[in-house]
Amino acid sequence: MAKTQDPDHLIIEVVEIQEGLEGRMHQESLRLLDRVTVEAFRLGDIPRGIDNFYDAFGPDPMFRYTGGTVPPSILHKTIMRYNFMTWTWTSIMLTIHHGVAVLRASPPHRTCLLERLLRGLIRIISGPMRLLLSAEQKKRNEEVDMKMKQLNKDAGVEEKSKDWVYLEMLFTAQKYQGQGFGSALVKTLTTWLDLSGQTSWVHALDSNEGFYNFHGFQTMGSITIAEENPEWHEDPFTLIVMVRYPKSSEIEKV
């Protein structure tokens, strides 16, 4: 099984076969796939990427439930800058228009010395933020962490996922949504995963289930967040875990 992790190599492979892609494309999400250019995310894309991260996730209930705010604090934005820097060097990072739309996926690999050093630096920088968290924010974060772990266990992906590619982040700036950017990014990733025979997985809100279903992901389980929290004055929301097996191989069951 191929273990290519270099984003540049990923782009080259996909571009070579993209003209040969066939099949009926979803009218809403893939209508502009042939008009956009997917590129490897670069360090120079970080400023725009961070701004669009907050723009895209501002309405997201999970983001807000766990303490995210728009506009972000200077400290939170600084931490995100170091996160993006680390991800650029250690993850599969794809983008459209240099940060307008971004995908991040983590391949199954051992962390290198550079990544450990960068993550250690982030922990030091984020220390003051953890101290500033209210008791309610800490409670919410603990709830989400516990429920996600239970979800993975109940869905049967807890152990197997260690060998899979994890689609950790996907966003498009709000004014560019509906133009197929998210689909172009996911299609680029999944095409490469099909070629290399790799399985991928993702956590998503149930409102995005149809999008990921269309791209070949199967829903394995779900949990409800915030249903017992009287301090959350919005509707509870549902988180799902989904798995996509490479099309070139027989779909196995978890």
Q: Are 148 and 161 in contact (CB under 8 A)?
A: no
Give CA–CA dist 60/240, Å, rounded: 15
The percentage of residues in the chain with a pLDDT greater than 90, rounded to a whole number, is 60
Give CA–CA dist 230/178, Å, rounded: 34
Secondary structure class of 15 (helix, strand, coil): helix
Closest to 123 in 3D by CA, of 71, 89, 74, 83: 83
pLDDT at 209: 96
Confidence band of 128 (pLDDT split at 50, 70, 90) = low
Range of the domain at 148: 7-16+26-244
Confidence band of 125 (pLDDT split at 50, 70, 90) = low
DSSP code of residue 91: S
pLDDT at 173: 98
Which of 71 and 48 is assigned the larger pLDDT?
48
Domain count for the chain: 1
Q: Is residue 249 domain-resident?
A: no
pLDDT at 34: 60
Q: Is residue 45 domain-resident?
A: yes
Give CA–CA dist 124/129, Å, rounded: 10
**Average pLDDT of 103-116?**
79
Give the sheet arrangement for strand 165-172, strand by strand.
39-40, 92-96, 101-106, 165-172, 200-205, 237-244, 218-225
Q: Is residue 1 domain-resident?
A: no
> Residue 99: which CATH number?
3.40.630.30
pLDDT digits (tens, 9 = 90+) for 135-182: 998 999 999 999 999 999 999 999 899 899 999 999 999 999 999 999
Burial class (CB in 10 A: 0-12, 13-18, 19+), 46: buried
Q: Is the pLDDT of residue 10 over 50?
A: no
Give CA–CA dist 87/94, Å, rounded: 11
Provide DSSP, 212-244: HHHTT-EEEEEEEESTT-TT--S--EEEEEEEE
pLDDT digits (tens, 9 = 90+) for 190-230: 999 999 999 999 999 999 999 999 999 999 999 999 999 99
Q: Is residue 2 domain-resident?
A: no
Q: Is residue 229 domain-resident?
A: yes
Q: Is residue 94 domain-resident?
A: yes
**Average pLDDT of 218-247?**
97
**Average pLDDT of 237-248?**
94
Q: Is residue 251 domain-resident?
A: no
Give CA–CA dist 242/222, Å, rounded: 9
Q: Is residue 196 domain-resident?
A: yes
Confidence band of 2 (pLDDT split at 50, 70, 90) = very low
Q: Is the pLDDT of residue 124 over 80?
A: no
Give CA–CA dist 172/188, Å, rounded: 15
pLDDT at 147: 97
